[in-house]
Amino acid sequence: MEKIDARSLSPSAQEHLRRMAVKAVMQGAKQTEVAKTFGVTRHTICRWVKAYRHQGQEALKAKKKGRPKGGKLLPWQAAQIAKAVMDHHPEQLKLPFFLWTREAVALLIKRRFGVQLSVWTVGRYLKRWGFTPQKPARRAWEQNPQQVQHWLEHEYPSIRRQAQRDKAQIYWGDEMGLRSDHAVGRSYGRKGQTPVILATGQRFGCNMISAITNQGRLNFMVFKERFTAHVFLEFLRRLLRQSDRRVYLIIDRHPVHRSRRVQNWVKENEERLRLVFLPSYSPELNPDELLNQDVKSNALGRQRPGNQTELMGKVRSYLRSRQCKPDIVANYFQGRHVQYAA
């Protein structure tokens, strides 16, 4: 059958053709055979089927030709859309987007008010509302915004007051793994020739655990074995030996931190130590994460260690240098998401 240009058909004929073709595929016919039967390309059939699977029958309806008309929002409609974009993620509004793109906002407007706008018009609205395209901060899907807000407004201020009454020192702790093939930054190369990092296949690593205060104190431990309750308790013992005050240690909800062995030990030493847990899936609230980034970027991100011993030596040396510069450690608390703890 001779191929036809579906665009030359009337809108109603196009819609009928799309519905018949998609129905045939959904009933088990091969896309190649359907394309031959209806006189269109296999690529066209594939595109129609994909649109149907994403948007249902709505995707097959005839669309008016030419530039959409009536592309204007009333003031109250614009206010609603701006608030929805500010207060929600697209998936919370059942939109098939991860980010607020112009296409996502255009679909939201169409669904709510039946107004069809071009992406350029949507872009002008977004600019008028004060929105700019930005690289989003990554947060876990499982994070509970209400828990984070409660932590910032109620829980942490209460912990700080309790620590002041106890004359205790608040530490923020975290642990991380380090690998020999971690590389950051830029490398010089001839113009037009991207530098390549060669993988030796001989990877090795180590782990570190640290705790910092907003006064610039830093305690750390670098170790080879995996992070276990035994390792964590050794770090806690060292931390208490090096402190002449009661310690409040704020950490995440890692299974080791909440293990029965750790909790029993903490209970036995409650006069000297209190563990406080951050909201789930909220690493951006922990200032010690900024120390982790510093170590990864500057202790081993630019020079390749030759073996595990050298790797651990570099990390220890760098952390000791940071211990000698409490102003730098204290400055971690000036990060955007952790200023509340400064």
CATH superfamily membership of 145-185+196-341: Ribonuclease H-like superfamily/Ribonuclease H (3.30.420.10)
Averaged pLDDT, 296-313: 78
Res. 106 pLDDT band, cuts 50 70 90: very high
More confident residue, 58 or 66: 58
Residues with Cβ within 8 Å of residue 148, at least 6 apart in sequence: 279, 282, 285
Res. 53 pLDDT band, cuts 50 70 90: confident
Instruction: Take residue 286 and report the two structure tokens written for it.
Output: 């922990």
Lowest mean pLDDT among 4-18, 107-121, 166-180: 4-18
Average pLDDT, the chain: 85
List beta partners, residue 25.
none
Instruction: Take residue 261 and report the two structure tokens written for it.
Output: 């062995």
More confident residue, 250 or 134: 250
| Most confidently modeled range among 117-121, 245-249, 290-294 | 245-249
How far apart are alpha carbons 219 and 247 in whole angstroms?
12
Q: What is the largest CA-CA distance in the chain?
A: 89
Q: What is the pLDDT of residue 304?
A: 67
How far apart are alpha carbons 99 and 97 in whole angstroms?
6
Averaged pLDDT, 309-332: 93
Judge whether residue 186 has pLDDT over 80. no
- Cβ atoms of 239 and 219 within 8 Å: the answer is yes
Domain boundaries, the chain: 6-60, 75-128, 145-185+196-341
Task: Pick 6-60's CATH classification: 2.60.40, 1.10.3470, 1.10.10, 2.40.330.
Answer: 1.10.10
Res. 38 pLDDT band, cuts 50 70 90: confident
Res. 276 pLDDT band, cuts 50 70 90: very high
Query: CA 233: distance to chain centroid?
Result: 30
Judge whether residue 96 has pLDDT over 80. no
Position 278, amino acid? L
Q: What is the pLDDT of residue 226?
A: 93
Averaged pLDDT, 33-37: 84
Sheet containing 218-223: give its strands across: 218-223, 205-212, 169-179, 247-251, 273-277
> Which one-letter DSSP state was computed for residue 216?
S
Judge whether residue 51 has pLDDT over 90. no
Q: What is the pLDDT of residue 172?
A: 98
